[in-house]
Amino acid sequence: MSATATTLALKRDFLTGTEWNPKQLRDFFRLSAEMKAHPDRYRGALAGSVFVLIFEKPSLRTRVTFETGIANLGGSSIFLDHTSARLAEREPVRDIARNLERWVQGIIARVFAQETLDELAANANVPVINALSDKFHPCQALADFFTLEERFGNLRGLKLAYVGDGNNMCHSLLTIGARAGAHIRVATPAGYEPDAGVIAEAKRVARETRGKIEILRSPEEAVSGAQAVYTDVWVSMGQETEAAQREVTFAGYQVNEQLFAQAAPDAVFLHCLPAHRGLEVTEGVIDQPRSIIYDQAENRLHVEKALLHTLLAS
């Protein structure tokens, strides 16, 4: 076990990202870098451990990276497909949690409602990891800021502009970004701002880390001089009935070549994927050399391995 891993001493669940303080996040990124650079040192870290992946929503990156990461660390995984029937439809979530804790060493859940995760965690004596909910997408945000640290060397004072819906991805960028000491500007249409409680918590932490949180209306104001420009889909899974209205509302929030040109000369583009090309982002932006979307996707694997190691092996 590495000295880096032993210093984390974190809660065993990872549901929102608020479980960690700024120092723990810095330690975590050092561990992620170590595990990425020296994967062979951790091959058997989770030997004999079994994890269950419960997914109410479809997935490419999340499922493949978690299953690959578990295998890389010597563990095994069981996939439970709940895309056609949500968790509580057959039996209560608390009963599912109390059964699973008897068989597996960890639960990784991709769900519609944050409350489902909270109930799993409250009733299972094994770690529960948020692989996406309606309120947070913390594993993605870990990968995003780890990728930015690789690119720029330091996250403190890094200027990131998020343009679009104040959704779960936005919430996690605020939560992790504040702990990293970054300067986060969010531009959304009226009525689509991130959750007020998430903003308040991020601003509280940012005061400690000398970060900065700004909620704006103007995409141009948010992007001006930014080192990283981030967007996400305008219509998340479960919001399909709102698609037509959202496309009208967000039309002025597309990250196109004209908007991206207002960022810093060395700015990079990020997207958690999948992307709706031609809607929230143009082909010219997402496919340019300064787009780091596939670096983000690769780093999902490395931060998730570090997360599993932190919660179970350290």
3-state secondary structure 186-223: EECCCCCCCCHHHHHHHHHHHHHHCCEEEEECCHHHHH
Cβ distance 142 to 176 under 8 Å?
yes
* Residue 2 in this model has a pLDDT that exceeds 90: no
Helix (H), strand (E) at residue 164: none
Q: Could you check whether 3-136+300-313 and 140-296 share the same CATH topology?
A: yes
Q: What integer pLDDT is reported at residue 6 of this predicted model? A: 41
CB neighbourhood size of 39 (10 A): 14
Question: What is residue 271's three-state secondary structure?
Answer: strand
Active-site hit among 26, 61, 254, 272: 272
Q: What integer pLDDT is reported at residue 241 of this predicted model? A: 84
Cβ distance 312 to 288 under 8 Å?
no
| The amino acid at 8 | L
Active-site hit among 30, 110, 183, 309: 110
Q: What is the DSSP string of 41-59?
A: GGTTTTTT-EEEEEESS--
Q: Spell out the CATH class of 3-136+300-313.
A: alpha beta
CB neighbourhood size of 1 (10 A): 10
Give the pLDDT confidence of 148-176 residue by residue, as tens digits.
999 999 999 999 999 999 999 999 999 99
Angle between helices 168-180 and 22-37 (to 10 degrees): 100
Q: Kindly report the pTM of this predicted structure.
A: 0.95
Q: Is 300 a catalytic residue?
A: yes
Q: What integer pLDDT is reported at residue 83 of this predicted model? A: 87
Give the pLDDT confidence of 203-236 residue by residue, as tens digits.
999 999 999 999 999 999 999 999 999 999 998 8
Give the pLDDT confidence of 36-64 residue by residue, as tens digits.
999 999 999 999 999 999 999 999 999 99
Burial 200-210, CB ≥16 within 10 A → b, else e: ebbbebbeebe
Counting runs of H as helices and runs of E as strands, what totals does the chain give? 13, 9
Q: Is 232 a catalytic residue?
A: yes
Q: Is 140 a catalytic residue?
A: yes
In percent, the amount of the chain with pLDDT more than 70 equals 96
Give the pLDDT confidence of 9-46 residue by residue, as tens digits.
444 899 999 999 999 999 999 999 999 999 999 999 99
List the CATH code of the domain at 140-296: 3.40.50.1370
Cβ distance 217 to 189 under 8 Å?
yes
Strand partners, 231: 163, 271
Active-site hit among 183, 300, 302, 309: 300
Domain ranges of the chain: 3-136+300-313, 140-296
Active-site hit among 13, 183, 232, 296: 232
Give the pLDDT confidence of 283-294 residue by residue, as tens digits.
999 999 999 999
Active-site hit among 82, 139, 140, 246: 140
What's the distance, CA 79 to chain centroid? Answer: 20
Query: Which of the 8 DSSP states describes residue 269?
Result: E
Residue 87: band (very low, low, confident or very high) from pLDDT cuts 50, 70, 90? confident
Q: What integer pLDDT is reported at residue 314 of this predicted model? A: 65
- The larger pLDDT score, comparing residue 43 to residue 7, is at 43
The mean pLDDT value of the chain amounts to: 94
Tell me the residue ranges of DSSP E strands in the chain: 50-55, 76-81, 106-110, 128-130, 159-163, 183-187, 212-216, 228-231, 268-271
Q: Is 40 a catalytic residue?
A: no
